[in-house]
Amino acid sequence: MALIDKDWENVLGTLECESLLNGPSKRLSAILNKAESGEVIDRDEALYLVNIEKDEIPYLLLTASKLRDSGKGKILTYSKNVFVPLTQICRNRCGYCTFKYEPGEGALFMSPDEVVDLAKKGAELGCTELLFVTGDKPELKYPVYKEALQKLGYETTADYLIAMGEAGLKENIFPHTNLGLATSEELLAFKQSNPSMGLMLENISPRLLKKGQAHHGCPDKVPKLRMNTMELAGEHRIPWTSGILVGIGETWEERIDSLLALKKLSDDYGHLQELIIQNFSPKPGIMMEKYPPPSVVDMLKLVAISRLVFGEGMNLQIPPNLNPETYPMFIHAGINDLGGVSPVTIDYVNPEAPWPKLEIMQDMVEDLGFTLRERLPVYPEFIDNEFIEKDVLTRVVNFVDKDGYVPLEEVTNG
């Protein structure tokens, strides 16, 4: 209990309020009551929450936490993964990227043997997620890449990823692919080995494609095309992870509109299994080196608003390695997932950010009155034959207990 108080004190300290003395305004009360009763808040209400006074923010956080508790109980989840950067060549040039390099600066792609070795190593160390992250469609921009890929027997990066997902599954670890834009046929092929997949929306605003903005010169970052891929995934009943990137030059309206676009996707198709609220972190050498990262207060507000927009059922995550000092505070803003950690590989997208130590994460979660449970890349509520191909499902159910989590054992980092 002591840590709950101490941690809540941290939240109040960060918000610069001493206690909950003044009570919420009438309008805020009405919105919070509406959300607590299970109704969806609308755009105006979400935007009202953006502008509440600092000393009202704790009330927003309390409601978000109540909703999480009501939908998810006192369980926080994480997954144990192996990060596979199949290729770091990419046809885009996002202003915040440190992942991409040019041909000649490193290998064009990982070899099949390297992928299988990583899958084996991960499976041996108890990882259940083979997380494929790649640059987008380098074959359309770089002839040298295309030729090398063809020599290996593949026409596209998607074809290669599909083959590597199948190879990984044979090693008893579940591929979860972040391909980028995908066709209907590609998605169906991925579904034969991937129990779930992902694509961050990042932001719904086409403004960010304009000159000087984060997504200028990025054909794969057109929001409509990203939504289209996710709609196709919905038609194919593929459990899907998405989310938004915060602090890349977007306005608060654009953040809220991005959440609402994903909420509509979720309502229309029912396949959105997880929503990630990912904060941009500046790094030396990138185009956006001088952009300020979003403040903790803004992130707390946004996470809590996300919980109110999506309601009690959504799995809501902030990446702990991008918030190493503050991630416990987000438990008070309604998250129920602490993302992936890896005993094998670094986070290639944020190489400066080490994974949290599992033992420390478990102690912290327990001190806050929660239980930490390991999940597969696919969430328990999507483990059924509507969402997972028969052969993959047979393997999945062998890995989980009756509640859909990896059976409990003592948490270790290796």
In the complex with ligand SF4, the residue whose CB is nearer, 90 or 158, is 90
Backbone angles phi, psi at 129, to 5 degrees: -125, 125
Backbone angles phi, psi at 29, to 5 degrees: -55, -45
Burial class (CB in 10 A: 0-12, 13-18, 19+), 101: middle
Binding-residue pattern over the window 129 to 158 for ligand SF4, x denoting contact by CB under 6 A? ------xx----------------------
Q: Supply the minimum distance, in Å, between the C-beta of residue 221 and ligand SF4.
A: 7
Query: How far apart, in whole angstroms, are the C-alpha atoms of residue 391 and residue 394?
Result: 5
Task: Pick the closest to residue 62 from 393, 334, 286, 390 (CA basis).
Answer: 334
Stretch that binds ligand SF4, among 33-41, 88-96, 146-154, 318-326 (CB under 6 A): 88-96
93 binds ligand SF4 (CB under 6 A): yes
Q: Supply the minimum distance, in Å, between the C-beta of residue 400 and ligand SF4.
A: 31
Q: Which parts of 219-248 interact with ligand SF4 (CB under 6 A)? A: 220
Stretch that binds ligand SF4, among 41-49, 73-81, 87-95, 303-311 (CB under 6 A): 87-95
In the complex with ligand SF4, the residue whose CB is nearer, 121 or 283, is 283
Task: Provide the β-strand partners of residue 316.
Answer: 275
Which of 94, 227, 272, 376: binder of ligand SF4 (CB under 6 A)?
94
Backbone angles phi, psi at 180, to 5 degrees: 105, -150
Residues in contact with ligand SF4, counted by CB under 6 A, come to a total of 10
Give yes or no for a contact between 330 and 64, defined as CB atoms under 8 angstroms apart: no
Stretch that binds ligand SF4, among 77-85, 86-94, 153-161, 290-298 (CB under 6 A): 86-94
In the complex with ligand SF4, the residue whose CB is nearer, 97 or 358, is 97
Give yes or no for a contact between 208 and 163, defined as CB atoms under 8 angstroms apart: no
Residues written for the chain: 414
Beta strands 272-279 and 337-341 are unpaired
DSSP 3-state percent helix, strand, coil across the chain (nearest 5): 45, 10, 45
Q: Supply the minimum distance, in Å, between the C-beta of residue 282 and ligand SF4.
A: 14
Which of 11, 32, 64, 90: binder of ligand SF4 (CB under 6 A)?
90
100 binds ligand SF4 (CB under 6 A): yes
Burial class (CB in 10 A: 0-12, 13-18, 19+), 337: buried
Q: Which parts of 350-389 interact with ligand SF4 (CB under 6 A)? A: none
97 binds ligand SF4 (CB under 6 A): yes
Which of 65, 79, 81, 92: binder of ligand SF4 (CB under 6 A)?
92
In the complex with ligand SF4, the residue whose CB is nearer, 93 or 283, is 93
Q: Which residue has the tokens 């027997």?
A: 153
Question: Helix, strand, or coil here: 144?
Answer: helix
Residues that bind ligand SF4 (CB under 6 A): 90, 92-94, 97, 99-100, 135-136, 220
